[in-house]
Amino acid sequence: MKEARKYMNPYLGGVLLGLVLIVAFWVSGRGLGASGAPKSVLVAGMQVVAPEHTENTAFYKEYLAGHEHPLKSWLVFEMLGVLVGGFLSGALAGRLNFKVEKGPNVTNKVRIVFAVIGGILFGFGSQLGRGCTSGSALTGMSVLSVGGFVTMAAIFGTAFGLAYFARKLWL
């Protein structure tokens, strides 16, 4: 039988996440977030593919007015660091493998389709809520924003409510 790999203590992980949040405030003057990075990449791509459309659309014009260049955004560099850091962490811990984690009665295709649908819904929701869990909940809570606490409660409450229906994807 294969030996189980040990994961980091979740309490230590939480403390380290808090320290990363403090460093983010110290270095950049703002907290963590992720949903702005894909938006910056999208706007930069639209500038290349359809520059005339980008110049004539209110959303793009407004976004570009507040940014020197979309790909020079703090969030783009943060997300690159998350991707590289996650890859290195998995490689150093011996857990780097490409597989689909799923329940025994679910096919890879179904699991991937539900993962993509969930990602799209979460991305859409993060734009409606003006930020992802990192930005709205963690950073909001760190500055004692009522909205941050409400967001975190809504995220976990919704996840708890929907877990019953999605549990067969893993069990």
pLDDT averaged over the chain? Answer: 84
How do the domains of the chain map onto residue ranges?
Answer: 8-98, 100-171
Per-residue buried b or exposed e for 49-72, using 16+ beta carbons within 10 Å of the residue's own CB: eeeeebeeeeebeebbeeeeebee
Single pTM value for the model:
0.72
pLDDT given at position 12 = 93
pLDDT given at position 15 = 93
Beta-carbon contacts of 147 under 8 Å, excluding residues fewer than 6 positions away, are: 136, 140
pLDDT given at position 155 = 84
Q: pLDDT band for position 16 (50/70/90)?
A: very high
pLDDT given at position 3 = 61
pLDDT given at position 132 = 78
The answer to whether the CB of 166 falls within 8 A of the CB of 114 is yes
Tokens of 128: 């409606």
Proportion of the chain above pLDDT 70, given as a percent: 96
pLDDT given at position 111 = 87
